Amino acid sequence: GLEQAFCSVGVKRNIDDPRRADIYNPNAGRTTTLNSQKLPLLRYLQLNAVRGVLHRNAFVAPHWNMNAHSIMYVTRGNARLQIVNDRGNTAFNGELRQNQLIVVPQNFALLIQSRSENFEWVAIKTNDNAMVSPIVGKTSVFKGLPEEVLRNAYRVSREEARMLKYNRGEEMVVLVPHSSQSRGRA
Amino acid sequence: GSQSRCRIERLNAQEPRRRVESEAGLTEYFDEDNEQFECAGVAAHRRIVQPGGLVLPKFYNAHALTYVVQGKGIFGNVMPGCPESFQSFQRGDPRTSREEGRRGRSERDQHQRVDHFREGDIIAIPAGVAHWVYNDGEQPIVAFTVLDTSNNANQLDSNRREFLLAGRKGRGQHLGVEPREDSDDFNLLSGFDTESLAESMGISRDLAEKLRGRSDDRGEIVRVEGSFHIVRPSRREEGMSEGEEREREYEEEERERERRRLMAN
């Protein structure tokens, strides 16, 4: 049984190949996730990995990891990171450079903006199917909330609530810098 | 560690030890530092939401089950990636489009599923999932919640944590012999600087400032001014009066009781 379970099981998978990207936006960057659905051994390890590349000034949408801690290690470039704890206090607000690492605890909110041509990182997460909950964008919390809830929660007009829901359109996770987006529209 | 906390010689009945008041309700917390809660690896609280009150979106660091002691309302769990399946319009339908055009865009919306709840219901809230509650009834909602902080879903320490997505939590008052106050808790967005928030969301600085909610003193349960129109199915929309709706509910409950009686036999 052990032989069948472990000896023939796959143990590696490339996540640096851009053609394997799960989320890709030519103007913002890409992310590739390796979870236990792609590499079953990870179910046993209870870990997964995410490879990310972000172009200059592009963002990773504000989000939180729902069921895992994330250990981020920078392989190239630098970016500004803001991490917020459960009391709404800024736990980290600074730059992360090549060869530096930061631990993002579960549920803490995270916002990343690339400061270099290409900011590249790998994140090891402590769950084989780590889930992320973005605050804006296509699969976001804001999009899932009724307008009335947004209106009353933030004391904003209907138009503003609609902007919060739809301003980022179909973008998900990696976001184009707003200024270049405006230029694109113009 | 948790086993050593379970060497309990005597158990005591517990009452809430801390109260946090909001504009349209209050939350009372049981003492998490008590060894009974530490032993079981849980935290508990009781929330009261006044009619017209909205519990602002938030999520917990642990799975939670809520029992509705009193009242009725609507709630939504927002799961990332789930479709906005409740829609007040249909794309591509020319009749609807014309109708929408006449009414203006103001009434359109689409969002994730919302559910009704009432007295006696249990509501499951997975860890890390944002949720909100609105009291559309005529009496206060009283709800009792237990968080399973020792479950594997919570990889932080065993403290209960509530992550607000809007508003700000008022100062907690400790009840009992030594009343004292806690400091304020802010929402998650307030920890980002206004510029970054505005740029990442593609919104103005003014709107980003509103999201941060630093000057919002309504607490975590706010009063909804005016109407609260969201997309949700209602039997009354199918031409059923309120009386008929109650009668239908009563019949369903009777059927359920009968089904349970037969199963017991």
Band of residue B8 on the pLDDT scale cut at 50, 70, 90: confident
- Does the CB of A164 have a partner CB in chain B at under 8 Å? yes
**Residue B239: its pLDDT value, please?**
56
Which stretches of B160-241 are DSSP H helices?
A: 194-201, 205-212
Q: Which residue has tokens 């450079």?
A: A97
Residue A120 β-bridge partners:
A53, A76
Q: Which residues of B touch A146 (CB under 8 A)?
A: 76, 86, 109, 111, 114, 230-231
- Alpha-carbon gap, residue B46 to B52, rounded angstroms: 18
Angle, CA B154 vertex, CA A59 and CA A152 arms, to 5°: 55
Range B156-181 average pLDDT: 81
Query: Which residues 30-69 of chain A have a CB within 8 Å of chain B?
Result: 59, 61-62, 64-69
| Category of A112 on φ-ψ map: left (φ > 0), alpha (ψ -120 to 50) or beta | beta
Hey, what are B197's tokens?
């928030």
pLDDT at B109 (0 to 100): 87
In this predicted model, what pLDDT tens digit does every residue of A86-121 receive, in sequence order? 999 999 999 999 999 999 999 999 999 999 999 999
> Lowest mean pLDDT: which of A31-40, B170-179, B182-191?
B170-179
pLDDT for B102 beyond 50: no
Token duo for residue B67? 């029992």
pLDDT at A61: 94
Q: Compute the distance between CA of residue A33 and CA of residue A71 in angstroms, rounded to an integer.
A: 14
Nearest CA in chain B to A136: B201
pLDDT digits (tens, 9 = 90+) for B55-73: 999 999 999 999 999 999 9
Residue B95: helix, strand or coil by DSSP? helix
User: Predicted ipTM?
Assistant: 0.81
Given an 8 Å threshold on Cβ–Cβ distance, is A164 in contact with B162?
no
Chain B positions touching A111 (Cβ under 8 A) are 192, 196-197, 200
Q: In which band, very low, low, confident or very high, does the pLDDT at B48 lie, cut at 50, 70 and 90?
A: very high
Residues 6+ apart with CB under 8 A from B219: B20, B21, B22, B23, B167, B168, B169, B170
8 A C-beta contact, residue A77 and residue A115: yes
Judge residue B162's burial from the number of C-beta atoms within 10 Å of its C-beta, 0-12 exposed, 13-18 middle, 19 or more buried. Answer: middle
- Residue B5 Cα to chain centre, angstroms: 31
What's at A118, amino acid-wise? N
State phi, psi for A46 to the nearest 5 degrees: 60, 40
Nearest CA in chain B to A87: B185
Q: What are phi and psi of B127, to 5 degrees?
A: -60, 140
State which residues of chain A have pLDDT below 50. 182-186
User: pLDDT tier at B101 (50, 70, 90 boundaries)?
Assistant: very low
